[in-house]
A and B are shown apart, each in its own frame.
Chain A
Amino acid sequence: MQKNNLKKVIVRVCIGTGGLAAGGKEVIDAFKKEISDRCIDIDLDFTCHYQKVGCRGFCARDVLVDVVDGDKSLTYQCIKPEMAARIVDEHLIGGKPVKEWLIDDTYYAFHAKQKKILLKDCGTIDPEDINAYIDVGGYSGIKKVLSEMNPEDVISEIKASGLRGRGGAGFPTGLKWEICRKTPGDTKYIICNADEGDPGAFMDRSIIEGNPHSVIEGMMIAGYAVGSDHGYVYIRAEYPFAVERLRLAISQAHERGYLGKNIFGSNFGFDIKVKLGAGAFVCGEETALIASIEGQRGMPRAKPPFPVHHGLWGKPTVINNVETLSNIPYIIRNGAQWYASIGTEKSKGTKVFALTGKVKNTGLIEVPMGITLREIIYDIGGGIIGDREFKAVQTGGPSGGCIPAEMLDIPVDYESLAQVGSIVGSGGMVVLDETDCMVNIARFFLEFTQAESCGKCVPCRIGTKRLLEILDRITKGLGREGDIELLQKLSSDIKAASLCGLGQTAPNPVLSTIRYFREEYEAHIRDKKCPAKVCRDLLTYYIIEEFCKGCGACLRACPSGAITGEKKKLHKINPDICIKCGACFEVCKFKAVGRE
């Protein structure tokens, strides 16, 4: 059946984090089935190849499917398995694309202000094929380094590029390498931190799933620069797909001789081990991560001494996160000048963010440093869902802060965000609107950090618990006069006295929400009201007499039997029985249920 000179059509399906969740695997299966069904009846004039690719960013439009026919490539959006048949019939066999399913203007707008370096190859190349990476210039960076540069050159190149750590703290990468290189010792380690623990963040995961070889190449270059022949990737076990891809990539690199001894005929050798983490947030903290690799409980150790001096097994160690390392090959390939031309004076290059929350276009974005929050939220994100009012954007995950509307025009870079009480962090970006209660948001993040505290130091273990308890009572209407001041005092003491980054940043959501939304706290404490109408204990539900048609929908929806009323007659909610679940509010077609 197979004929030799048939043309080759590629069906490329996104099975990144979002793609997989939207059914990417099923879509591939559907295409395969449809094609093979057709084969029985007719001789196809093409062979169909399938490519699973990593995240392309626009997760709101998943599953994204490319049909590549020669040099023509078209992209479909929001594809479900049942849509495969029509695409096969009309496009693949019939040659006429299904126009109404192709990507639209919004898709282009989503990408217009992005600057893709790391994510450029993510989603186009086959991450399970080392050749795909090599075809787009992969491993030319390490080749160049080994043939033309000595380690000091590499370090000064990275320093000149202005690259700073993408894990959160923004420490200059070149400087870190330099310190480690200068620390005496025969054995040194490179660790890639892929323990992405922020809720809702999937930047590192997407890079590893979509372009694992870029991380490997970055680690090799780091190893050469620092004088290390051994690397670890510490990755959470909850990323089985990323782990699988990474392991495959490592074994392919081994087969090629890219990893191992005498790489590219040089004296340099490098090897990488994959270590799985058990999903503790605190293991993203570098010293806890080291402890975890050593087989200890993931508990942070005091710094100094820093890992560059005294790291894994007591040896000098460089820890960079996935995104940082993945930048390295591109910097080496294109030169520090090129990289430094992107971004602001102190923050160079691009940054990947996971844009989520109440924004229309959610997904993974890569933007040049210095872009404004407004551009991200309104131009890339397309504004707020339901065109409601923007309230704040939470950056930096549980360790970050909330930035209010009046600051939407500040540039996104390390210094500017720090100035307004937040951080770039690893790249989480949660957009909040008028329906979000800021006290509740702070409480939410505190709940997370408290539960993830390792328990080693007092301020974090007990302090965040007390913070959480105070926030809890405020949202329950039991707040007291002086609670805000107590929150502020305790927060600043926790920040000052905690052992590691987790505790030192855990109060950030509290402090920044108090800073910008103090009146919401006051409303909770003094008036016992939640302005965003989120805090259940502060709400009352009632029937608005003039709108109620007596349809009985609310009565049927009420789980606690708090609503009474005969058909076609006015209904009533008994506040003593009401559990404030909001079911009646949701179900009423006539907006006759009021909430206050």
Chain B
Amino acid sequence: MFKVTIDGKTIEVQEGTTVLDAAKMLDIPIPTLCHHPKLTPFGGCRLCIVEIKGIPRPVTSCTTPVSDGMEVTTSNPYIEDLRKTVLELILSDHPNDCMVCEKAGDCTLQELAYFYGIRENRFEGERRIYTKRDGNPFIERDLEKCIMCGRCVKVCDEVEGVGAIDFGYRGFSSKICTPFGKDLNCEFCGQCVAVCPTGALTGKMWKQKGRQKDIKEIETTCPYCGCGCSLTLHVRRNEVIKITSREDTLNEGWLCVKGRFSYSFINSPDRLTKPLIRIAPKDQSNPPLPPFVKGGRGGINNSLLVTRYSSLFREASWDEAVDYIAKRLKTLKDKYGPDAIAGLSSARCTNEENYLFQKFMRAGIGTNNIDHCARY
């Protein structure tokens, strides 16, 4: 254990702890931009600089491990002045469009600019201008808002193990890019979007759907594979507009392309909204499968479906539909016995629903013919 004194407060920490983490334990705030607790330290934004007794120049607290007896000053006029210069420099190369930015209200840079009261900027000059030209359907990249914190690069390498992006070029022209400017092997997990502190990386489908302030967040569990990742559904006006995940969960805030981006089925116009009762005779009921719209728009062609279904089914009220089912099942059960009826329940439904379903089949119908798709 090392003893370290930060702003006059002393704490004992494990060897290898960084000054930033030690300060966090003491609840001493240090501004950061490129730091992310789940990624290796970077030390690029220079905002977390502190003074350490015996070291001639300021050092970044996120990269500096504590040593025994270390004395740290996290804030004084000199340090704050340097931080302000750094922030002004970043903002001198940042589009001033918080008004329409997707990230406004949830942006670390905006937050820092506010706390440091940066109205005027001593520095002005060229801004990097990039034309957007990416065709991927998930991630909106706005390189002009990129502050080169490297979080996306590191999450892609260290967490996802893909390494689809890295720093490229040098000097003022350096930027985050894919090898040779192509979208190679990206899994669109959106981890980079999750860790981006500014509006440089956002979800394409979040665009103009609502900003953080009027969003209701609901915790739930992912409906896809068996990992059981925690999801936070962002809801505005009865619509799920975005999915994120908290960091203190089983999945540590990481999601895959399905969990993070594939929620549009909830609001799909194809959703069934009314009970349907067959009108077409059974033997006609297997018309050729509808053509799929290839490449791009994807999914099923709605107009085709509607006409086809109306020839197969008619809409009914719940009352009529349930009544009809109850009657038919009872008749068949009376005629052939309960074991002539079988039920398939679903791995997509909740435990409660599954329990009730099998209870209904076993006690209500009287058969053990109940299964689900565990084997596929």
- Chain A residues with CB under 8 Å of chain B are 280, 282, 297, 299, 301-302, 304-305, 450-459, 461-466, 469, 486, 489-490, 493, 496-499, 504
Contacts and interface: CB of A to CB of B under 8 A. Distances in A.
B57 A453 contact: no
Contacts of B57: 496, 504
A455 B174 contact: yes
A305 to B, nearest CB: 7
B243 to A, nearest CB: 32
Given A461-B174, A469-B125, A504-B57, A498 B166 contact: no
A471 B355 CA distance: 75
A282 B174 CA distance: 13
A464 to B, nearest CB: 8
Interface stretch (B84-92, B312-320, B360-368): B84-92
Interface of B: 41-46, 49, 57-60, 63-65, 81-82, 85-86, 89-90, 92-93, 122-126, 147-148, 150, 166-167, 169-175
A302 B59 contact: yes
A115 to B, nearest CB: 33
A337 B66 CA distance: 40
- The A contact surface, by secondary structure, is helix
A458 B45 contact: yes
A454 B122 CA distance: 24
Nearest to A305: B65
B260 to A, nearest CB: 28
Contact of A465 (B147, B169, B171): B171
Contacts of B89: 458-459, 462-463, 466
B308 to A, nearest CB: 55
Given A297-B166, A462-B93, A466-B92, A496 B82 contact: yes
A197 to B, nearest CB: 12
A462 B90 contact: yes
Contacts of A453: 170-172, 174
Nearest to A465: B172
Given A455-B174, A457-B46, A462-B93, A490 B123 contact: yes
SS class, residues of chain B in contact with chain A: loop
- 4 closest A-B pairs (Cβ-Cβ)? A455-B174, A302-B63, A302-B43, A462-B89
Nearest to A504: B57
17 contacts: A301-B63, A302-B59, A302-B60, A454-B167, A454-B170, A455-B171, A455-B172, A456-B148, A457-B46, A458-B89, A458-B147, A459-B89, A465-B125, A466-B124, A489-B85, A493-B82, A493-B85
Given A462-B93, A499-B43, A490 B85 contact: yes
Nearest to B82: A497
A458 B82 CA distance: 11
A451 B172 CA distance: 7
A469 B122 CA distance: 13
A439 to B, nearest CB: 17
Contacts of A486: 122
Given A455-B167, A498-B46, 14 more contacts: A453-B171, A454-B167, A455-B171, A456-B42, A456-B148, A456-B150, A457-B46, A462-B90, A463-B85, A464-B171, A466-B89, A493-B81, A496-B57, A497-B85
A299 B172 CA distance: 14
Nearest to A310: B65
Nearest to A455: B174
B86 A459 contact: yes
Contacts of B148: 455-456, 458, 461
